[in-house]
């Protein structure tokens, strides 16, 4: 039987890992949840990326549907954007995913042609 480790709490398996401190840009923070709830209540249900309507009933029935409503960050969190209502925009899940964490290259086409 091997001798016990001299400091059991310092054994590599027991070493505490250094976690990054939570910042105000954490997606799971209260600020973010409140901003998303506000956007859902007060938004126009128009995708800011493709300017097409977002079907909120579809979103209620199947939030994972490609055309479901999502909150998109105009300036991505990974680029220092805040998790506040001023930085959130409504987008289809597909449009949001397609854009990824890139900032828009040009102003989105929000005009409608009737």
Asked whether residue 15 is domain-assigned, the answer is: no
Residue-wise pLDDT for 56-79, tens only, equals 999 999 999 999 999 999 999 888
Asked whether residue 17 is domain-assigned, the answer is: no
Asked whether residue 71 is domain-assigned, the answer is: yes
pLDDT at 107: 52
pLDDT at 78: 87
Asked whether residue 94 is domain-assigned, the answer is: yes
pLDDT at 20: 42
Asked whether residue 39 is domain-assigned, the answer is: yes
Asked whether residue 56 is domain-assigned, the answer is: yes
- Does the model's pTM come out above 0.75? no
Counted domains in the chain: 1
Domain that holds residue 49: 27-99
Asked whether residue 108 is domain-assigned, the answer is: no
- Residue ranges of E strands in the chain: 69-73, 88-92
Which backbone phi and psi does 100 adopt, to 5 degrees?
65, -140
Report how far residue 75's alpha carbon sits from residue 86's, in angstroms, rounded to the nearest whole number. Answer: 10
* pLDDT-flagged residues of the chain (< 50): 10-25, 114
CB–CB of 52/46 below 8 Å? yes
Nearest Cα neighbor of 96 from 114, 70, 57 is: 70
- Residues sharing a CB contact under 8 Å with residue 76, sequence separation 6 or more, in sequence order: 100, 101, 102, 103
């Amino acid at each position: 039987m091997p001798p016990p480790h001299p400091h059991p709490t310092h054994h590599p398996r027991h070493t505490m890992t250094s976690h990054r401190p939570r910042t105000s840009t954490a997606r799971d923070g209260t600020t973010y949840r409140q901003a998303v709830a506000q956007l859902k209540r007060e938004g126009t249900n128009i995708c800011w990326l493709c300017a097409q309507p977002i079907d909120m009933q579809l979103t209620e029935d199947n939030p994972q549907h490609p055309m479901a409503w999502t909150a998109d960050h105009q300036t991505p969190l990974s680029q220092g954007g805040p998790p506040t209502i001023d930085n959130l925009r409504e987008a289809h899940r597909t449009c949001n995913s397609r854009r990824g964490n890139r900032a828009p290259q040009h102003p989105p086409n929000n005009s409608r042609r009737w």
